[in-house]
Chain A
Amino acid sequence: MRRRKKRRSQGEVELNLAAMLDMAFQLLTFFILTFKPAPVEGQVLLRMPPPQPITNVNAGQKAGSDASNTNPVQGLNTLVITAIANPDGGLRQMAVGDATMGSVPALERKLSTVLGDPGSGFDQVIVQVDSRLRYDELMQIIDVCTRQKLPNGEVLSKLSFVELPAG
């Protein structure tokens, strides 16, 4: 005797999506409420070794060994910038070596002349900073320094800081 195949029910199975939608809306609410876009920040990349002696540090060089050197600056590789602050932390005065600079643009012009000179040989800068100087004022100086190009075409990136006592 042949058995008859049972027919499956043709009724549709309907999922209850309302519960899933509730959960999805809760997740969505959480993400919307906690969404806080981070500000786009920039950065200045520096290579900062500890401060080193600012006199000639070229290895193996002896005094008077180069008779053709008539430029006393040749052999020095560190440029010193000094930044003095007001009592409120603002920038009062700057100097490149002994030359006083009245403003940041003047400092930029001076650095461009000095660091871009192929005969100078400077490849790093030490910034002597008043301990009271505010960070934003210091960053103006760093900004100027990191925009300078050395005679070999590289951007100046070796900076060191020395803290000057207040006053």
Chain B
Amino acid sequence: MSASLSHSSSAEPNLTPILDMVFQLITFFMLVINFKAASMDLDLKLPVIGSARPVDTQGQEDLLILNINSQGQLRVYGQLIPDISTYIANEATASLMVARQTNPNLKAGDELPSTVVIRADKSTAFAMLNRVISKCQEHGYRKFALKAMNKTEET
């Protein structure tokens, strides 16, 4: 009597296509990951104005990004900055050193080529905002970019 023997070789699916697809997805997510978002406090509610233009730094400008919440507190990379004056002074010194690489004649107090990017909550009182702007101006910053949402981007 002969019993029918089941086929002993296991069925192995071809994993190569699925691996290809997964690697493509990983590549996509790695490319679109935005490290700049770390410098932005995404909890802030920016004001909405029509003339706000998308950011165009042309890849050559030194940016100082300052997040100011509704209480007027300064946050940089998620860290609360208790001493605004010292922080801006240190940043100005660093900006000056960077600027001296292209213009060695630049002195302390001269106009800095860096741009101060201000991301302030829409309910921030002007007194709080002006405190930061004045400190930046004292240390030679003249170029400012005030962040806002464009009306067309509002959802």
**What total of chain B residues lie within 8 Å of the partner, measured CB to CB?**
54
- Is B149 at the interface (CB under 8 A from chain A)? yes
Given contacts A42-B150, A143-B51, contact A135 B124 (CB under 8 A): yes
The docked-state distance in angstroms from the alpha carbon of A69 to that of B103 is 42
The docked-state distance in angstroms from the alpha carbon of A43 to that of B119 is 9
> Dominant SS at the B interface?
mixed
Given contacts A21-B18, A41-B147, A143-B51, contact A163 B36 (CB under 8 A): no
Contact, CB under 8 Å: A139 / B49: yes
For A46, give the chain B residue with the smallest CB separation: B144
**What total of chain A residues lie within 8 Å of the partner, measured CB to CB?**
47
Chain B residues positioned under 8 Å from A17 (CB to CB): 15-16, 19
The docked-state distance in angstroms from the alpha carbon of A143 to that of B23 is 46
Contact, CB under 8 Å: B137 / A48: yes
Closest beta carbon of chain B to A123's beta carbon, Å: 15
- Is A28 at the interface (CB under 8 A from chain B)? yes
For A41, give the chain B residue with the smallest CB separation: B147
The 6 A-B pairs with the shortest beta carbon distances in the complex, nearest first, are A42-B52, A31-B29, A136-B47, A136-B122, A131-B127, A17-B15
Residues of A within 8 A of B (CB): 17-18, 20-21, 24-25, 27-28, 31-32, 34-50, 85, 89, 129-136, 138-140, 142-143, 146-147, 161, 163, 166
